[in-house]
A and B are shown apart, each in its own frame.
Chain A
Amino acid sequence: MKILGLIIAILTGAFLIYAAVDFPDWADPTSPASTYLSPRFIEKTIEETSVPNIVTAVLADYRGFDTMFETAVIFSAAVACFFILRIFVHGEPGERLYRHVLTGVTIRVKEGKIPPSDDFERIDASWTPHDLIIKTICRLLVPFIQLFGLYVIAHGHHSPGGGFQGGVILGASIILLAISNDLRTAVKRMGEKLVGLLCALGVFIYAGTGALCLLLGLNFLDYAALASILHVDPITARSHGILIVEIGVGLAVMTAMIWIYNNVSSNGEYDEGL
């Protein structure tokens, strides 16, 4: 079986190299991309989509189909991580550590758990000291990181940014919370069900926008069709359509990051993180 896999890999690689021979040279001024494709985007983007950032326009509008499936790939990576790693543990939990908040005394509970109260907080098996500095600073920084993430998503039209980058920043803010406190704190704010639903919702927003354009009588992902719903002219509608799909991408990427981190850091048990 291994040998078969090796043969298939070598054959595919050979085909790819064989196909790559026909490509134009690096920076060839006579290649199709340099003669009419790039100049057309550079000249026409602003009048066709009213988006100053050409990269965003190409990514989410002219080449929107490709980006939609990139989002789907990220979604399936998160789902694959969930299906491979997640363990639903049943039965009695093992030893657990609790800390008395006021005195800092740690107690070990074998089998079962102590009733929930404000006096005791659960801590991870890799015993962590009460670190006020890291917890406070991270709690202070997280809202600003999230604000910056939203800015990057919304400002993708005018500056480097967009759904993927902003989504990663938003996801990192929640992961920072999970690292600086513990996994349970982060999961309490972004539950497993919510993360999964939002991840699927992100892809749905993207594909749904495309389908809506189809319903309104134009091509799939041709945002000019949204003009009648948004009450703007078709060119502004293309700009707004890009923002809508960027929000979808941002949602999917953010929750995919959190989902993968939660599963990997807790070995799929969601009990104790790093």
Chain B
Amino acid sequence: MDVVVVLFLFAGLFFFTGGAIGILRFPDFYSRLHPAGKLDTLGLLLSMIALALFNLHHFSLGTVLTSAKIIIIVVFVFLASPTATHAIVDAGVRAGLGPWTKGEQRR
């Protein structure tokens, strides 16, 4: 059980790290939103599953409820985070920011 929890937690941290590196290294606004929107959601999913499993060590109605609440948080973020990214991209396009093309400088 503990092995599974640690595996999930490390997988989550791996995606979080990837997201952080992506935000720092990608060249422009739109490509930076790509790791911010996707990898954070996936990292959160994996680490929250790890927490929900870890919480079930003592199996009772209370811990099952707590785990269910953790999973509900994941569902909420799964809906809200991509929508927020979509809205930010939309605002960027409407404000007139063009995408970065190869050979240009980072911005």
Contact = CB atoms under 8 A, between A and B. Distances in A.
A51 B94 CA distance: 51
A3 interface: no
B76 A141 contact: yes
B87 interface: yes
Q: Does more than half of chain A's interface fall in helix, strand or loop, or is it mixed? A: helix
B84 to A, nearest CB: 9
A131 B80 contact: no
A134 interface: yes
Contacts of A140: 79
A134 B87 contact: yes
A144 B76 contact: yes
Interface in A131-154: 131, 133-134, 137-138, 140-141, 144
B86 to A, nearest CB: 6
Interface string A232-253: 0000000000000000000000
A11 B89 CA distance: 50
Contacts, number: 19
B17 interface: no
B31 interface: no
Contacts of B94: 129
B75 to A, nearest CB: 9
B86 A134 contact: yes
Contact of B83 (A129, A137, A144): A137
A133 B76 contact: no
Interface in B62-101: 76, 79-80, 83, 86-87, 90, 94
A133 B79 contact: no
A140 B76 CA distance: 10
Contacts of B76: 141, 144
Contacts of B80: 137, 141
A137 B79 contact: yes
Contacts of A129: 90, 94
A131 B90 contact: yes
Nearest to B87: A134
Nearest to A127: B94
B76 to A, nearest CB: 7
A129 B90 CA distance: 9
A141 B83 CA distance: 11
Contacts of A137: 79-80, 83
Contacts of A144: 76
A144 B87 CA distance: 20
11 contacts: A129-B94, A131-B87, A131-B90, A133-B83, A133-B86, A134-B83, A134-B87, A137-B80, A137-B83, A140-B79, A141-B79
